Structure 1
Amino acid sequence: MAQNAPRNNSQPLSQPQQQERPQTKPLLNKPLFKPRESRVQDRRPPSEVMLEKKGWNFKRKFFQNMATRFNYYFHARVKLEKVLRTANRDGQDNYNVLLPFYPTTLQSQGYSKSELDSVIEKTNMAIQLHDPRGKWIDDCFLLMGRAYFYEGDLENANKTFQYINLKFAPKKKSEYKTVVGATENDQISIASREKRKGFFGRFKHTYARNDAFLWRAKTLLEQKEYDEVQALLNILNTDPNFPRRLNGGLAEVLAYSNYIQGRYPETVQPLKVAIDKSRDRVSKTRMSFILGQLYLQLNHPDSAMEQFREVISFKPDPMMDFQSRIQIAKINAKQDGGLAKSMESLKHMLRKERFSHFRDAIFYTMGTLEYPKDPEAALGYMQKSLKQPSANTVQRMLTYKGIADIYYDQRQYLEAKKYYDSTAGVMTPDFVDAKIVTIRKEVLAEVAAKVAIMHREDSLQRLALMPESDRNVLLSKMAAGIRNAAAEKKKNDAMQAANPYDNPAFGNNNNGYTPKEEKGDWYFYNASSKASGFSEFKRRWGNRQVADNWRRSQNGVIVNNNNNNAPADVAGGPAETATEALSPDSITAEKLSQGLPLTPEKLAASRTLEQDAWFDLGKLYHDKLESFKLAIETYDSLLLKYPDHPRKPEILYSLYVWHGKLNNNAEAARYKALVLNQYGNTNFADIIRAGGLRDIDAGKKKAIGAAYDSAYTAFRNGDNNAALAMKHLADSTFGVNYLQPKFDLLEAMIAIKNDTLFATDTLQLSRKAVTAVMQKYPADEGVQAQAQALLDALNRRGELTDYLAKLEVRKSNGDGPLVDENISMNYPWQNPQPVFTDKLNVAKAPKDSVQVAANIAGSLPNKQIATIAPIKPMTPYALKADNPYFVVLCFQRVSKELMDEGINQFTRYNATKHAADKIEVGSFVLTPSETMLIFRIFANEDKALTYFDEIREEAALSIIPRIRPADYSLFVISRDNFILLNSTKDLTGYRKFFTDNYVTQ
């Protein structure tokens, strides 16, 4: 019993019993806090930690992809699409010119930066928090790049798209292709293959990498890297792995590339493909409208009409639908009997309620159709357009500009300036005529002042030359008319004072300045401000008649249409001063006659003032408004009225130059003969005969020559800014001098020298500078020859763009060129030629460069230069270390089949041996008997010479073994030297230059 009794727990256990009982774990088997020295924090983002975990199984893939897609990617995409929808310009485009390809541009965007930053943040969080092996990570990167693109951060956008292309390239051995240089069936492939065959293949996830190629192309287009974009699009167009789903996007990018470069004929075909394959109705409608505009630009009205009707059939937004109908009406108006039909169609649209928001544009279109046939009707329609309530500021800008242009053509310059001011106040920075509006706004006030002086002085002279009795009668009638007008105004003032809004100065006046009634801070939108302004005006100026030139009409204006001897609008200069302090009631004929030029001295002063105004007006038309027609008309009228003008030689010379610019050769020859025959001893005759002015002072002549030598030396040394500064200093110091043609040609050469980007707008400025020199000095044979050579080189640059584009410059990794047993390459900076004597240095200088320098820098002799035939343009080849370089293989005698084979063989060779260098090869026809293969583009001369040595050895052995080495030659050439070679066709001269400077036998 004792053995079976329960044990007392309070008794101590024996030693064996203590060993049999299991040990109990403590509640805390480790310290609550680690010692500070052992605490290590993992600062890596979760994505890197997840990447180290094994077991990328179905369950993990499913949850990671779902979380990435619906927690982050979906919301970021919805936010980005919302930003793009709200950033649309909502019809604020100028439909009278070619539309921007996309609704917004980076220069005039309305994107919300905070919203785009939110898109970038969401996509970044998705990338950092989720497993990078997920299939939605590349889509998040693509959204991030697009957000950078719309923000205008093109550098980060380009880097993001490049990262996608490299990071997400295929990794499997069966799919792997190198990004550059891989070939499949002799076709370069850079895209990722998408397996989307069959019904279920349509629902498979697509690679964002393929979309990133197109977005990178758009980014490069905004950065104006046109040649790099063209190379990328050429590869994608023939890439066998590029997915069919992106063919429409590829065509759209190609059309956009041609469109922004102004290559409209090449835009049509890819744009049609993009429209056909587009699934975005808004984008498809816009591209269709642009295609219609391009057809009009290319003079295909029937195709444009059909395209605009197709736009209407798409059921677009009201603005696009309305503008398509407007374009159809404009096309019909240009056909026989179509104007009346178009006007009736527009009036019908005015009665339609759905076009009520576009009535301002309808009236404007009716005005443009009526002008120039009926200017008054056109102005009436445009004034009605301004009275329509509308929030379309672009249309208001166009209407202001249309009215201003009509007044400008009618030479009502004060009225034109008012409307140009209004246009400038509402026009956008990207307005196509912004430059014209700004210039005319600034110049027309000065033009109007000159015209007012001419009219005023002419009228005063005519009054002064009238018989005294007739003049007194006319002045008496004028004084009585002014007093009666003042009395009538005083009578009406009592009725108008009670209600200032009945005053015609604040109503529908003749000038059309009646803005819509609306609330705002602007003076004319505030009724109380207008009322107080009217009271202040009446207090200061009294009652004024609503008429043009009202300030003069109350102070000396003589208006009498019944008297043929009196002018219709005469403003008194001195008379105005004499009567401006008098009230209208006290004006008499004697007071009006005080400002007339009745003495010989005053009459001569008045004529001098009028002559100067005529002369200055002609200069304004030519120099600032660039209107040769108005300038010629002004000077012709000046010579008719003042045939003995004191500056007649300059006037005749100006007419000779202006007629020459308009290709009026007969008139130009007539004025040239007048200058040479009547004013042969003047400097203007010297300009015509020899392109230089006479300078009797030998010291001054020597100083001018030294100034030119200094400027030209700076230009030869490459310091273009210093050369241009010296030229401008010479202009301000010496004025027009005997070396002026050389100075002007030097300035044109500096403009061309500074043009290294081959941009279209810059080339236009360069051509304009050279053409201006040729037109200014038509008789200078030497200047004409040099300018023509420069112009030929500029004109051929368009053909060389594909071969001479500036590509990406990379650092050199080579160890130097290979040296052949028989031919060694001499680098000027490594193996300089020994200098023996100064005479030898002159002999070693390139012959062409010496002749060009002597031809330009040489001063003209004092005697008249004999007329000689233009010399053949020289080719001053030069070594330029800062230029990109090309390797050229020139064929002497080879068939087209062998030449095509050579292109294919070299393309394969470069894809295999130089995949990372992006060496491109293409054919170029220099002359009908000289065809070349151009290998481009090498960052510097060293890389070009290395490649030259390499293919010189491999060409005959393995690349083109079927072509005999005797039938081709190889050389290296810089980009600038290639331009000169293409201009002069002097291949023999360049081979000699290449041999003298690079090759030692």
Structure 2
Amino acid sequence: MPVVVLWGCSQYSTNPGSVAFNNLTAKYNAYYIARTETEIAERAMRKAYQENYNQILPILLPLDSTLAMSVRPQLENAIEKASIVAERHQNSKWLDDSYTLIGKNRLYLGQFDDGVEALRYVFTNGRDEDDKNKALIWLMRAYTQKQDYSNALNVAEYLSQQPLNKEATRDFYLAKAYVHQRQGEYLTAVAILEQAFPLLKRGAEKARLHFAAGQLYDRINQYALAADHYRAVGKNRPDYDLSFYADMSSLQNRVLLNPNVDLSSVGFDKMLRDRKNNDLQDRIYYTMGLLAERRGRYPEAVEYLQKSVTTAGANVERIPYTYLELARINYDRLENYENAQAYYDSALVSLPPQTEQFKTISDRKKALDEFVAQMTIVRTEDSLQALAQMNPAALDRKLDVIIQAEEDEKKRLLAEAQKALEASSRPSAADIGTPFINGNERRWELYDPLLVNQGKVEFRRLWGSRPLEDDWRRATKENASFNTGTQIVGNKPPGTEVTATTTPPGVPSGLTPETGMVNGSVAWLARRDELRKNVPISGADFTASERREEDALYNLGKIYRFDLKESEKAVSTFTRLLKDFPKSAYREEIYYLIYLSLEEGDKNRPLWKEKLLAEFPNSTYARLLNQELTAGKSGGVPGSSANEAYDKLFGLYSAGNYTEALAQTENALALYRDSPLVDKFALLRIFLVGKVRGRDDYLQAINEFIRLYPDSSLLPRVQEMLEVTGRASIRR
């Protein structure tokens, strides 16, 4: 009889008693424990998750394996217990739920392949449609996390055709809205999210989703609809931080909807006075700064954002986003590229590398590093040339003005240092922006990222970008006294006022900071002689200064055109170069770049093409312009791809058909100018030009390659060819 009982309770039996037994033992043993462990882990991960209110809140929390590390034992235990159902209770109705638990817990742990396999198993072999739909919703989340949006939307399309219960409908809407949010389709995302709100229970999670909806509406400039959702946050028991940000966003929308309202009276001042918001004052100033920018009050916006940095206190994780806004305003609105560079640099110090915009910001910062270096050269040489054109007496007077400005700046810095020293000797917890330990002990500056970043910005403002080297401030360095600070602007472009301020030097030997230098003293005259040495008075020095300025303007134009993607400013810079240096060696390339930078419908565009063809009819740039319209029609080099075309051209070269190969290569350069192989075509052209046209054209082709393809991996080889050709010329 015992044998019969055991057989009757087998997990493979369809006997009603066996099924009931396995249902009961699965639910109240293995499955119950697995579900409980999962819920505990989910609550812990939700509590540990740090919302970033600088960004749009994700509709669903990301599947972050790092976040799951603290609850890994619970998740693994849940997987182990759910696996018991699969192993011992095959005929239980909780089998599908157990596989779904296994799948979602593996996703939490970052085991995506195993998690997806478990969820697919439910869809393929599941017996209950509701369980299959639940697994598919989690499968959507897995695809979304892996940025496989095509498969995620395919699953969504299938689910949209299925009869879903209330819980599954809610989860489906949230998962689908999240897919579109991750793709940047904010209008679609918020439209789907709106359908989920009637299915959500009142509580903190609903409050959070209302805030996310408000942010999405803000992104598509629907401020009235955003305001409705911000007001709804307070009706759903939010925590204090969420309530604060919702209130602040609501005030922000009031300003956007009523442009005439005063920022100081709309309610921000009340929030600043509220003691509960002492640790959130930086966010209030941040919002006020963005609103001031929207109204075109850029200096006011910068002031508010700087207050946001100084009042951040321990909230250092929010500082890089404030620096990014300061960098953007300085770059886009004020065109102060030096400050923008410094703020981008400070932002990258503490911005998490996994942040969505990290690479874009890093690229922009690198471009600005080079941009500021070239801009400094232009301003410096322009100023020095203006000084060189003065008569000796006027030059001495101008240098005296510069020295006096240095002394004034030195006194200001010393006064600030003295003030800071006095403040540090009597620390107070009430001092805004000063970090303290245990409320009364001041933290060392190098332990505080806020103070480190502020110091970096201030250093760059005063001294510019300096290499890591000894004695970088010595006046003996070339043009050292003219490289930073407010530069002397010469008479290019016309009408520019000549002013002068340079960076403060060190205190001269034998003088105290209090006394400084007196006009006419030995130290003053020595300083004047130092400055005069940098002025290009001789003809050779003046010519060298002009060449440095010409090269820097050329580099600035290319940075505008290719790195910063600002075609109008590139055209303006190139035009200035041509005006100041009408015989520039860069003329042919500049004509071509101006032509490319102008819009198709610009009336001046054809004029630059004609100018290039008239002055440099045999240049590579002229051939590119002549062939760009005909290459597509003629098909260029026969073949369906750049690889095939290159192989055929190289075959002609190897066979000695140099003239025909050269003609087809020049045609291919226009046809495949957007191909990754374009530099290989250009290198082949150099060889062919050397075979067909001789040494001078060969050298010109090499120099054109160096200018056109500065980032090519073939550049070292081409530079070596140039050096070899130069040595051969010397030997002859």
Decide: shared fold, TM above 0.5.
yes
Correspondence for 2:581: 642
CA distance in structure 1 between the aligned counterparts of 2:621 and 2:267, rounded to whole angstroms: 58
CA distance in structure 2 between the aligned counterparts of 1:355 and 1:422, rounded to whole angstroms: 26
Correspondence for 1:501: 421
How many Å apart are 1:725 and its aligned residue? 13
**Which among 244, 257, 262 is matched to residue 322 of structure 1?**
244
**Which among 187, 193, 208 is matched to residue 271 of structure 1?**
193
Asked if 1:360 corresponds to 2:282, the answer is yes
User: Could you tell me whether the CA contact under 8 Å between 1:308 and 1:328 is conserved in 2?
Assistant: yes
CA distance in structure 1 between the aligned counterparts of 2:20 and 2:536, rounded to whole angstroms: 100
Secondary structure in structure 2 of the residue aligned to 1:88: helix
The within-5 A match list for 1:839-858 is none
Correspondence for 1:690: 627
Asked if 1:592 corresponds to 2:518, the answer is no
**Which among 447, 457, 463 is matched to residue 371 of structure 2?**
447
Task: State the aligned residue count.
Answer: 616
- Residues 114-155 of structure 1 deviation map (CA, whole Å, 9 limit, x = unaligned): 442232123224544x44333434332221111012222222
Asked if 1:51 corresponds to 2:51, the answer is no
Q: 1:484 to 1:88 in 2, by over 3 A?
A: closer
**Which among 104, 118, 126 is matched to residue 160 of structure 1?**
118
CA distance in structure 1 between the aligned counterparts of 2:126 and 2:489, rounded to whole angstroms: 90
How many Å apart are 1:162 and its aligned residue? 2.5
Q: 1:140 to 1:280 in 2, by over 3 A?
A: farther
CA distance in structure 1 between the aligned counterparts of 2:443 and 2:663, rounded to whole angstroms: 54
- Residues 598-642 of structure 1 deviation map (CA, whole Å, 9 limit, x = unaligned): 111111111111111111111112222222233223223323333
The within-5 A match list for 1:71-470 is 71-88=29-46, 92-95=50-53, 97-106=55-64, 109-112=67-70, 113-128=72-87, 130-169=88-127, 192=129, 208-224=131-147, 226-239=149-162, 242-279=164-201, 281-340=203-262, 344-371=266-293, 373-409=296-332, 410-470=334-394
CA distance in structure 2 between the aligned counterparts of 1:106 and 1:163, rounded to whole angstroms: 23
- Residues 549-575 of structure 1 deviation map (CA, whole Å, 9 limit, x = unaligned): 697697774899999999434669xxx
**Which among 524, 531, 536 is matched to residue 445 of structure 2?**
524
CA distance in structure 1 between the aligned counterparts of 2:445 and 2:91, rounded to whole angstroms: 65
How many Å apart are 1:163 and its aligned residue? 2.3
Secondary structure in structure 2 of the residue aligned to 1:626: coil
The within-5 A match list for 1:742-757 is 742-743=668-669, 745-746=671-672
Correspondence for 2:514: none
Asked if 1:568 corresponds to 2:499, the answer is yes
Name the amino acid aligned to 2:591: L
Name the amino acid aligned to 1:633: S
Name the amino acid aligned to 1:458: D
Q: 1:562 to 1:285 in 2, by over 3 A?
A: closer
- Residues 735-781 of structure 1 deviation map (CA, whole Å, 9 limit, x = unaligned): x9974663464475789xxxxxxxxxxxxxxxxx9xxxxxxxxxxxx
How many Å apart are 1:596 and its aligned residue? 1.9
Name the amino acid aligned to 1:76: A
CA distance in structure 1 between the aligned counterparts of 2:578 and 2:392, rounded to whole angstroms: 29
CA distance in structure 2 between the aligned counterparts of 1:110 and 1:440, rounded to whole angstroms: 34
- Residues 943-980 of structure 1 deviation map (CA, whole Å, 9 limit, x = unaligned): xxxxxxxxxxxxxxxxxxxxxxxxxxxxxxxxxxxxxx
User: Could you tell me whether the CA contact under 8 Å between 1:420 and 1:441 is conserved in 2?
Assistant: yes
Q: 1:740 to 1:54 in 2, by over 3 A?
A: same
CA distance in structure 2 between the aligned counterparts of 1:484 and 1:299, rounded to whole angstroms: 48
Secondary structure in structure 1 of the residue aligned to 2:262: helix
* TM-score relative to the length of structure 2: 0.70
**Which among 447, 471, 484 is matched to residue 395 of structure 2?**
471
Correspondence for 2:553: 614
Q: 1:277 to 1:461 in 2, by over 3 A?
A: same
Asked if 1:669 corresponds to 2:603, the answer is no
- Residues 170-200 of structure 1 deviation map (CA, whole Å, 9 limit, x = unaligned): xxxxxxxxxxxxxxxxxxxxx63xxxxxxxx
Give 1 or 2 for the bigger CA radius of gyration: 1
Name the amino acid aligned to 1:285: A
User: Could you tell me whether the CA contact under 8 Å between 1:515 and 1:524 is conserved in 2?
Assistant: no
Name the amino acid aligned to 1:651: I
User: Could you tell me whether the CA contact under 8 Å between 1:386 and 1:515 is conserved in 2?
Assistant: no
Q: 1:649 to 1:76 in 2, by over 3 A?
A: same
Q: 1:163 to 1:545 in 2, by over 3 A?
A: closer
* TM-score relative to the length of structure 1: 0.53
CA distance in structure 2 between the aligned counterparts of 1:148 and 1:747, rounded to whole angstroms: 47
CA distance in structure 1 between the aligned counterparts of 2:509 and 2:650, rounded to whole angstroms: 52
User: Could you tell me whether the CA contact under 8 Å between 1:349 and 1:355 is conserved in 2?
Assistant: yes
CA distance in structure 2 between the aligned counterparts of 1:384 and 1:492, rounded to whole angstroms: 22
User: Could you tell me whether the CA contact under 8 Å between 1:450 and 1:617 is conserved in 2?
Assistant: yes
Secondary structure in structure 2 of the residue aligned to 1:344: coil
Q: 1:455 to 1:116 in 2, by over 3 A?
A: same
Q: Which moved more, 1:106-115 or 1:136-145?
A: 106-115
Name the amino acid aligned to 1:288: H
Q: 1:406 to 1:514 in 2, by over 3 A?
A: farther
Q: 1:641 to 1:491 in 2, by over 3 A?
A: closer
CA distance in structure 2 between the aligned counterparts of 1:143 and 1:302, rounded to whole angstroms: 41
Correspondence for 2:682: none
- Residues 478-503 of structure 1 deviation map (CA, whole Å, 9 limit, x = unaligned): 557768988x699989x96xx98349
How many Å apart are 1:399 and its aligned residue? 0.5
User: Could you tell me whether the CA contact under 8 Å between 1:455 and 1:570 is conserved in 2?
Assistant: no
Q: 1:633 to 1:570 in 2, by over 3 A?
A: farther
How many Å apart are 1:86 and its aligned residue? 2.9
Secondary structure in structure 1 of the residue aligned to 2:598: helix
Unmatched 5+ stretches in structure 2? 1-5, 467-471, 492-496, 512-516, 518-522, 652-658, 679-692, 694-732
Secondary structure in structure 2 of the residue aligned to 1:666: coil
- Counting aligned pairs with the same residue, the percent is 22
CA distance in structure 1 between the aligned counterparts of 2:544 and 2:488, rounded to whole angstroms: 29
Name the amino acid aligned to 1:475: L
CA distance in structure 1 between the aligned counterparts of 2:208 and 2:155, rounded to whole angstroms: 26
Name the amino acid aligned to 1:334: L
Secondary structure in structure 1 of the residue aligned to 2:104: helix
User: Could you tell me whether the CA contact under 8 Å between 1:676 and 1:685 is conserved in 2?
Assistant: yes
RMSD: 5.0
CA distance in structure 2 between the aligned counterparts of 1:737 and 1:601, rounded to whole angstroms: 43
CA distance in structure 2 between the aligned counterparts of 1:480 and 1:388, rounded to whole angstroms: 35
CA distance in structure 1 between the aligned counterparts of 2:486 and 2:10, rounded to whole angstroms: 97
Point out the structure with the larger helix share: 2
CA distance in structure 2 between the aligned counterparts of 1:725 and 1:92, rounded to whole angstroms: 58
Name the amino acid aligned to 2:542: L
Q: 1:638 to 1:360 in 2, by over 3 A?
A: same
Q: 1:636 to 1:461 in 2, by over 3 A?
A: same
Q: Which moved more, 1:105-114 or 1:289-298?
A: 105-114
Name the amino acid aligned to 1:77: R
The within-5 A match list for 1:711-730 is 712=641, 714-715=643-644
CA distance in structure 2 between the aligned counterparts of 1:628 and 1:562, rounded to whole angstroms: 27
Secondary structure in structure 2 of the residue aligned to 1:428: coil
Secondary structure in structure 2 of the residue aligned to 1:450: helix
Q: 1:490 to 1:224 in 2, by over 3 A?
A: closer
Correspondence for 1:949: none
The within-5 A match list for 1:772-851 is none
Secondary structure in structure 1 of the residue aligned to 2:604: helix
